[in-house]
């Protein structure tokens, strides 16, 4: 069975970034029959104040729940069925409803492992009880890197995901609680309960790969000396909406995070088309948020996706929308359509490899799109697709959302590859603290281990349908970008 695409997360909360949550403006006399409340993104002209847009929102019967004046974006709720038309005019560059624009986060199945017996902490990752099962850490030279540095606590990685369990024994000391928040609904809630997981352990698994503590209890992270911040952008239904992503990027930027990990795409449409009248405002708002974060010194890392799609030569999208808002349709994809945030300028895009350092059968790819690759797991290559071998996936921290218990388990996907790259970026910043995002991205590429294209049509799982792929390029190619990230090379 084909794996689901990258899961996209969703949003709602209470306390805002920038100008913050505004008091509801006094509404004019209602001249319409109220409909269901909907959420909208309203854009002021680029570089201009949101004041005029805010006035139009009030006149159109909308309530501003977050004013991101830094980038000219308002998050608005309204029961006016004609709000999009009513708010348009001078001071408003574009407006779009976000209804139906959430995409489900692809957790993938979690295969849990038995709780290990605690051991004496040695300060060496290889001494952790479950390190022997972490083939991924050995593959990217983490033990050698840790002899130089385990990372600096001054480096904080924002995990834009489904929340991090603050009680997990491998993570409790690793979370920057003062920088953690929920962005559900496009506004901020800093209460600990709000940024903990509720229905998904995806963010907990990602956080463990980045920074699980060397404490003699479970697994070791790539950079156990750094901190992670939980920036929750996934709602209880497992969706991420554009307003949550915008909030997350700005929250991370304004709270001193140097790296963010983004294992999702935005929109129920796998590819967001700038020439689509409804999707363009979403693309513009997210792009403004990403650019703002980069200008504040943040390197954003994103997963390439689990659709085995050539992102350089995408022509038809046959699986969108995937949130049930409309029937799935075939769409012709042009150069105006991109995967957000993976294809946004300046974002480090990561594909996935398995234990043999070959492209994972599900990983999307693309010459000029993929920057680097990292372990994401490939549980089916040994059987040519017939069955799964859990040990070939990635082992990390988990949280059982039913029993509310912490543990450890295997997941696979480019969602697991991204945090390896984010962790290596955090180690690089620990060793080179003055490095800016552009230089850091280039450094990750220069220090990666080049991997050659396989010849001919590549398909490690011929017993499954739809996983053929062809690699293009030389030392830098569509499957692996500049190569597999190397933790030791960035700190030595």
Of 425, 447, 408, 393, nearest to 223 by C-alpha is 425
What's the rounded Cα separation, in Å, for the pair 318 and 227?
A: 40
Which of 191-205, 272-286, 469-483 has the lowest average pLDDT?
A: 272-286
Please report, rounded to a whole number, the percentage of residues in the chain having pLDDT higher than 70.
85
What contacts 336, CB < 8 A, 6 or more positions away?
273, 274, 275
Give pLDDT, residue 49: 96
Residue 22: the pLDDT is 32
Q: How confident is the model at residue 30 (pLDDT cuts 50, 70, 90)?
A: low
pLDDT score of 233 more than 80: yes
CA distance 42 to 476: 40
Task: Give the residue numbers marked as catalytic.
Answer: 161, 202, 415
What burial class does residue 31 get, using C-beta atoms within 10 Å of its C-beta: 0-12 exposed, 13-18 middle, 19+ buried? Answer: exposed
Q: How many CB atoms lie within 10 A of CB 122?
A: 11
**Gap between the Cα atoms of 5 and 363, Å rounded:** 9
Q: SS3 of 167, please?
A: coil
pLDDT at 222 over 70: yes
The rounded mean pLDDT for the chain is 88
Going along the chain from its start, the domains and CATH numbers come out as 111-470 (3.40.50.200)
The residues, any chain, with a CB within 8 Å of residue 70's CB and separated by 6 or more, are 17, 18, 250, 254, 292
pLDDT (mean) for 217-225: 97
CB 71 within 8 A of CB 292: yes
| Angle 416-420-423 from CA coordinates, rounded to 5° | 135
Among the residues of 272-312, which ranges form H helices? 279-295
Q: Residue 342: pLDDT band by 50, 70, 90 thresholds?
A: confident
Of 451 and 8, the one with more pLDDT: 451
What is the signed CA dihedral for 300, 306, 312, 314, rounded to 10 degrees? -130
Look at residue 256 in the predicted model and tell me its pLDDT.
97
Under the banding of pLDDT at 50, 70 and 90, the label for residue 475 is very high
51-55, 114-118, 330-334, 420-424, range with the lowest pLDDT: 330-334
374 SS3 class? strand
Can the peptide bond before residue 341 be classed as cis, meaning omega within 30 degrees of 0?
A: yes
Q: How confident is the model at residue 2 (pLDDT cuts 50, 70, 90)?
A: very low
Q: For 431-452, what is the mean pLDDT? A: 98
pLDDT tens profile 142-172: 999 999 999 999 999 999 999 999 999 999 9
Write out the two tokens for 186.
């496009």
The yes-or-no verdict on residue 189 having pLDDT over 50 is yes
């Amino acid at each position: 069975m084909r794996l689901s695409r990258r899961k996209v997360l969703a949003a709602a909360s209470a306390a805002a970034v920038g100008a913050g949550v505004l008091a509801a403006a006094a509404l004019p006399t209602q001249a319409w029959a109220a409909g269901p409340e909907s959420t909208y993104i309203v854009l002021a002209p680029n570089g201009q104040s949101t004041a005029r847009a805010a006035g139009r929102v009030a006149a159109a019967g909308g309530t501003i729940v977050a004013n991101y004046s830094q980038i000219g974006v308002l998050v608005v709720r309204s029961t006016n069925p004609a709000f999009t038309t009513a708010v348009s005019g001078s001071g408003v560059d574009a407006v779009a409803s976000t209804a139906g624009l959430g995409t489900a986060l692809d957790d993938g199945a979690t295969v849990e492992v038995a709780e290990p017996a605690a051991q004496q902490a040695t300060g060496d990752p290889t001494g952790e009880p479950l390190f022997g099962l972490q083939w991924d850490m050995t593959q990217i030279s983490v033990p050698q890197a840790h002899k130089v540095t385990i990372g600096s606590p001054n480096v904080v990685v924002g995990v834009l995901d489904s929340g991090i369990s603050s009680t997990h024994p491998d993570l409790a000391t690793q979370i920057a609680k003062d920088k953690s928040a929920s962005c559900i609904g496009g506004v901020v809630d800093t209460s600990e309960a709000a940024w903990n997981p509720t229905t998904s352990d995806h963010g907990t698994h990602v956080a463990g790969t980045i920074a699980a503590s060397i404490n003699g209890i479970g697994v070791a992270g790539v950079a156990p000396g750094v901190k992670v911040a939980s920036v929750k952008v996934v709602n209880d239904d497992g969706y991420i909406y554009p307003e949550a992503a915008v909030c997350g990027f700005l929250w991370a930027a304004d709270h001193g995070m140097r790296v963010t990990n983004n294992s999702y795409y935005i929109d129920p449409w796998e590819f967001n088309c700038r020439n689509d009248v409804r999707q363009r405002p979403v693309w513009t708002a997210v792009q403004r948020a990403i650019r703002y974060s980069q200008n504040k010194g943040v390197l954003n890392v994103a997963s390439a996706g689990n659709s085995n799609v050539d992102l350089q030569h995408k022509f038809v999208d046959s699986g969108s929308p995937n949130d049930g808002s409309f029937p799935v349709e075939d769409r012709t994809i042009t150069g105006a359509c991109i995967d957000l945030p993976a294809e946004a300028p300046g974002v480090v895009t990561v594909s996935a490899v398995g234990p043999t350092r070959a492209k994972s059968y599900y990983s999307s790819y693309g010459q000029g799109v993929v920057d680097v690759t990292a372990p994401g797991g490939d549980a089916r290559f040994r059987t040519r697709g017939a069955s799964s071998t859990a040990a070939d996936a990635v082992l990390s921290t988990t949280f059982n959302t039913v029993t509310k218990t912490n543990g450890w388990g295997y997941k696979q996907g480019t969602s697991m590859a991204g945090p390896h790259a984010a962790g290596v970026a955090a180690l690089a910043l620990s060793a080179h603290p003055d490095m800016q995002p552009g230089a850091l991205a280039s450094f990750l590429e220069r220090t990666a281990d080049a991997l050659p294209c396989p010849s001919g049509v590549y398909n490690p799982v011929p017993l499954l349908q739809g996983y053929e792929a062809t690699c293009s390029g030389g030392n830098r190619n569509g499957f692996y970008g500049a190569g597999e990230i190397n933790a030791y090379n960035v700190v030595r």
